[in-house]
C-alpha cells in the first residue's frame, strides 16, 4: 500500500489518502465512480465487468470512502494499458489521480513491461506523468493478430478498430516509456508531480 499524506491544505483537512489493490467489496464504489464519467469520457462498465476485472484495479481510499480508482490491463509482453482512472468530482485536484497512477506505474515496472498506453482526454494530466502523444504504435504482426481476437472493448479502442471510432473521437493516444524503472518510493506521491523520464 502507498500513502498520500497530503499535498494541499484541502487534502490535509480531509485526511490522508491510501492507494491499494481493489477488493471485491470495492466494486460497487468503483462502479459509482466510473458512472460519474461513463460515456464519452470513460468506457461504461457493468458490475459483472468490474467483478471479473477487479484484480486489475487499484483504489484510493480516504478513510473508508473510495475516492479514486484506476486499472492496468496487460496487452502484450512489453505493453500495458492504464484505464478507468477516475477521481470523485468533489476531490479532484488533490493528487489522488497521480497517486493511483503512480501505484499502477510501479506495478508496470514490476511486471517488466516497457510501455504503458493510455487513451484519454486528460492530456495535461498524463503528460505530467511522462506520457507523450503518439500517432502510431509499434506492434509485431503476431501481437496485432492476437489482439484483434480479444473480446475486450478497451483492446478494440487500443487497436483503433473502425467500429469503436465513434467512442474514441477526440481522445488522445499517449504512451509512457519505462526504459528506466520508476522509483517505487512513496515519497514522490506526496509532492506535486514531477514528470517521469520519457524514453
Ligand atoms: C484525470 C483524473 C483522474 C485526475 O484526477 P485528480 O485526482 O484530479 O488528479 P490529481 O489531483 O493528481 O492531478 C490533477 C491536477 O492537480 C494537481 N495537483 C494538485 N495537488 C496535487 C498533489 N498533492 N499531488 C499531485 N498533483 C496535484 C496536479 O498537478 C494536476 O495538474 P495537471 O492535470 O495539470 O497535471 C480526473 O480528472 C478524472 O477523474 N477525470 C475523468 C476521468 C478521466 O478522464 N480519466 C482519464 C482517462 S483513463
Helix locations, the chain, DSSP H: 9-14, 27-37, 47-52, 96-111, 123-127, 141-148, 153-158, 165-168
Contact by Cβ (8 Å): 197, 102: no
Q: Is 173 in the pocket of ligand 1 (CB under 6 A)?
A: no
Q: Is 7 in the pocket of ligand 1 (CB under 6 A)?
A: yes
The cell numbers describing 122, all together, are 486528460
Q: Is 73 in the pocket of ligand 1 (CB under 6 A)?
A: no
Predicted pLDDT at 3: 52
Q: Is 154 in the pocket of ligand 1 (CB under 6 A)?
A: no
Predicted pLDDT at 165: 82
Predicted pLDDT at 9: 39
CATH number at residue 46: 3.40.630.30
- Tell me if 140 is assigned to some domain: yes
Predicted pLDDT at 70: 98
Note down the domain range covering 45. 12-177
- Tell me if 2 is assigned to some domain: no
The cell numbers describing 132, all together, are 507523450
- Tell me if 136 is assigned to some domain: yes
- Closest among 117, 122, 102 to 37, alpha carbons compared: 122
- Tell me if 185 is assigned to some domain: no
pLDDT tens sequence for the chain (199 residues): 555 544 443 445 578 999 999 999 999 999 999 999 998 899 999 999 999 999 999 999 999 999 999 999 999 999 999 999 999 999 999 999 999 999 999 999 999 999 999 999 999 999 999 999 999 889 999 999 999 999 999 999 999 898 888 878 889 999 999 985 445 544 444 434 444 343 3
- Tell me if 173 is assigned to some domain: yes
- Tell me if 26 is assigned to some domain: yes
The structural domain count of the chain equals 1
**pTM given for the model:** 0.86
Q: Is 16 in the pocket of ligand 1 (CB under 6 A)?
A: no
Residue bearing the CA closest to ligand 1, atom 27 = 95
Which of 57, 71, 122 to mutate for ligand 1's pocket (most ligand atoms within 8 Å of CB)? 122
Q: How far is CA 65 from CA 14, 18, 22, 30, 33, in A?
A: 11, 10, 13, 11, 11
| Dist. CA 72–CA 80, nearest whole Å | 7
Predicted pLDDT at 91: 98
- Tell me if 106 is assigned to some domain: yes
Amino acid at each position: 500500500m502507498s500513502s498520500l499524506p497530503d499535498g494541499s491544505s484541502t487534502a490535509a483537512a480531509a485526511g490522508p489518502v491510501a492507494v491499494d489493490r481493489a477488493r471485491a467489496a470495492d466494486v460497487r464504489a468503483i462502479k459509482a465512480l466510473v458512472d460519474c464519467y461513463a460515456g464519452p469520457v470513460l468506457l461504461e462498465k457493468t458490475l459483472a465487468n468490474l467483478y471479473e476485472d477487479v484484480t486489475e484495479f487499484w483504489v484510493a481510499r480516504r478513510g473508508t470512502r473510495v475516492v479514486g480508482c484506476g486499472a492496468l490491463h496487460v496487452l502484450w509482453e512489453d505493453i500495458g494499458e492504464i484505464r478507468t482512472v477516475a477521481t470523485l468530482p468533489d476531490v479532484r485536484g488533490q493528487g489522488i489521480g497521480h497517486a493511483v497512477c503512480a501505484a499502477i506505474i510501479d506495478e508496470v515496472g514490476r511486471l517488466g513491461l516497457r510501455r504503458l498506453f493510455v487513451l484519454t482526454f486528460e492530456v495535461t494530466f498524463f503528460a505530467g506523468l511522462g506520457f507523450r502523444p503518439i500517432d502510431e504504435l509499434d506492434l509485431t504482426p503476431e501481437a496485432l493478430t492476437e489482439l484483434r481476437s480479444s473480446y475486450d472493448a478497451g483492446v478494440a479502442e487500443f487497436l483503433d478498430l473502425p467500429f469503436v471510432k465513434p467512442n474514441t473521437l477526440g481522445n488522445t493516444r499517449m504512451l509512457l516509456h519505462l526504459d528506466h524503472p520508476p522509483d517505487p518510493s512513496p515519497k514522490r506521491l506526496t509532492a506535486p508531480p514531477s514528470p517521469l523520464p520519457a524514453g
